[in-house]
Amino acid sequence: MPEITYREAIRQALRYQLQNDERVFLMGEDIGAYGGSYAVTKGFLEEFGPKRVKDTPIAESVIAGAGIGAAMAGLKPMVELMTINFSLLAIDQIVNNASKLHYMSNGQINVPLVIRMAGGAGSQLGAQHSHSLESWYAHVPGLKVACPATPYDAKGLLMTAFDDENPVIFIEHTALYTLKGEVPDEPYRVAFGKVDVMREGTDVTIIGYGGSVWQCFRAAKTLETEGVSAEVLNLRTLNPLDTDGILASVRKTNRAIVVEDDWEFGGFGGEIAALIQEHAFDDLDAPVLRIAGADIPMPYNGRLEQAALPQEAEIVRAVKEMV
């Protein structure tokens, strides 16, 4: 399989959808003439034209609302909100309309809408542009939330998102766009609600999603040199969540650490920790640990920003204390 970037994997999925489904169109800020803030849609305007690739005003509530209306009318829009913090301006449309219309219409209305947004920190974008708000959307019934960690996941999960007849929040970590990995040229799907065991282990389960998966993976490689066998789980999707896959791993290793960039207080890691405590308590040899971002606005200074995020050394230290 060829090696391509995370960015290119997303491009491949979008291009395939545009080429093979006339109902699909893209809309968002700067996605056309500019080619996207992260260059994902570069060249698409020239290739598919302004009816399929639409630049929008800087009005996130309007963008999301237009996408919902188009989806209700039978089209399959992909709305790009540039960054996850901008989605706060569209949260009423997403939470009160997109997520609820299928239920409130007793199944008569579908909203086949994909909302792409970039999240995460580590790129020195300041406190207002470095959010990890995945748990907010995973909390809402009627929304599916995908957080790809690899180029393979990015293409396969996005293809699956377009198959869904109701809304999917697709969150891309800003630090991963240049990450390379093996991706098939042909179309394929990655199932929602199925964890990827990225590394087998026997002593501890380290659980991550999005950008934190690679912190977990690197920590596991370091631990291996010190005689500790760590299993790394890449969640792929937060809603649906693969509870069976998480519990199976923890029952094998008897220890668990959850790693995420999000603030620890009220973060999604608490949900995973509670799940493990409730359903695998008798299998645990130690309490479930959480390693998360500091509960502060994200600093702009590069060194302070890294200090506010989970680090591999912190994971290694926590595992060694636990084991």
Report, as residue numbers or ranges, the catalytic residues. Answer: 60, 129
Residue whose pair of structure tokens reads 């999603």 in the numeric block: 209
With contact defined as beta carbons under 8 Å apart, do 267 and 278 qualify? no
Under DSSP, is residue 10 helix (H, G, I), strand (E, B) or coil? Answer: helix
- Which DSSP string do the residues of 35-80 spell out, in sequence order? --TTSTTTTHHHHH-TTTEEE--S-HHHHHHHHHHHHHTT-EEEEE
Nearest to 30, CA basis, from 60, 61, 57: 57
Distance CA 165, CA 31 (A): 24
Token digits for 167? 């809304």
Rg (CA), the chain: 19
Structure-block tokens of residue 104: 């409130």
* Exposed / middle / buried, residue 58 (Cβ in 10 Å: 0-12, 13-18, 19+): exposed
